[in-house]
Structure 1
């Protein structure tokens, strides 16, 4: 892992803010607030701290996606890091798999015990599927 493109990792982590702005704003913002019981005023409190921490956490996630999509898998002698695998689509596929098989079970399990609605679960899981796909695509294509 000596040739990590740190700029790609940072851009991918920052992409979560753009996607989140759209996802929890014009696309599903009102539905999400209704499902959580949060008012618009409550949602605005502490935003700078939330944004900062969320980017740091996104960086951890994108680093894991980077390892999964670029450095793991493939046939012996044919690792993912080869040029034929370094496409946006390949990285996006890995991002979706991580979201479906790691993130979704964790989020849905928590939401079940919190007695949240199916709509709430789908809004949040959908965000992470799209976000991980884009992060995976960015780091895989920009390697």
Structure 2
């Protein structure tokens, strides 16, 4: 199973694109700023190159785990020891991959699993942090919603094109 690394690079950009839209003042940006007690001046502080650069690196890290979540064949590859050992796999592995190597490799399927990752992983993480930080439910749902949409799009790209 070969991975299209261009698809992973493209999926990682999704966090920035969705974030630009999601946190725009005309969408959820004004509410998000109010829930964080931010002003426009607060948001102008800090190195945007550092913020966007690290966001992209962290997003690349997410793509690696989303491969396993959205592409079910990666589990079969793991069962034979990973890509370095594919040449030594038994003939039954080749037969399995011939029959099922492209099953469920669609944008729609990846988006479903990406969304489920947001719902069952990102929402609880954001929710737990938000509760301990004494943040509002608006804050929690704005961030969790962002991650559900973002992971759905990332999962779709990875499953459909990687």
TM over 0.5: same fold? yes
Residues 29-61 of structure 1: CA distance to partner in whole angstroms, max 9, x if unpaired?
000000011111211222221111011101111
> Counterpart in 2 of 1:16?
15
Matched length = 139
CA RMSD of aligned residues (A): 2.0
The Cα shift of 1:117 comes to 0.3
Residue 38 (structure 1) aligns with: 38
| Equivalent position of 1:61 in the other structure | 62
Greater gyration radius: 2
TM-score for the superposition, normalised by structure 1: 0.89
**In 2, Cα distance between equivalents of 1:114 and 1:83:** 44
- d(CA) in 2 for partners of 1:14, 1:62: 10
Q: Give the Cα separation in 2 of the matches to 1:39 and 1:94.
A: 36
- Could you tell me how far apart the structure 2 residues matched to 1:36 and 1:7 are? 35
Instruction: Flag structure 1 segments of 5+ consecutive residues without an equivalent.
Output: none
> Gaps (5+ residues) in structure 2?
77-92
1:121 to 136, 140, 148: 140
TM-score (norm 2): 0.79
Residues 52-78 of structure 1 show CA distances to partners (whole Å, capped at 9, x for unaligned) of 1011101111111112111248xx947
